[in-house]
Amino acid sequence: MGRVALEGIEFHAYHGVFSEEKKLGNRFTVDIQVDTDFHRAMIDDDLKYTVDYYRLYQIAKSHMQEPVKLLEHLAHLMVQDILKIYPNLIKVRVVIKKHNPSLGGVVNYSVVEVKYPDDYQ
């Protein structure tokens, strides 16, 4: 078993409940980690036996372009799309950070983390 991950993917997007967030947008960071058996990829040097992190990036990018209210929902959508492409994954973890959320004080970021299978049992 091994892990394929993308960390610190940066986006400007328009997710949030408040009208200001929908109009101005915000900076977001996405981390994706997947645990899988890529033993054959190590031996055969063939992408078809592992997870293509380009595809992971495209999933994150497409969902970041479609505004939603809640980061929990956004992370869930990403997990579901990853599992559609790679149904045999052992674990999937998506972390989304909203930088400088408008809360009336100094906050570096808010964070939502969704894990499969933990959050789906």
- The residue annotated as part of the active site, out of 61, 69, 84, 98, is 98
98 is known as an active-site residue: yes
Please give the full DSSP string across 14-41, using - where no structure is assigned. --SSSHHHHHH-EEEEEEEEEEE--HHH
Taking the C-alpha atoms of residue 72 and residue 62, their distance in angstroms, rounded to an integer, is 16
- Report yes or no: 28 and 97 within 8 Å, Cβ to Cβ: yes
The two three-digit tokens of residue 38, written as one number:
């890529």
Catalytically active residues, by annotation: 98
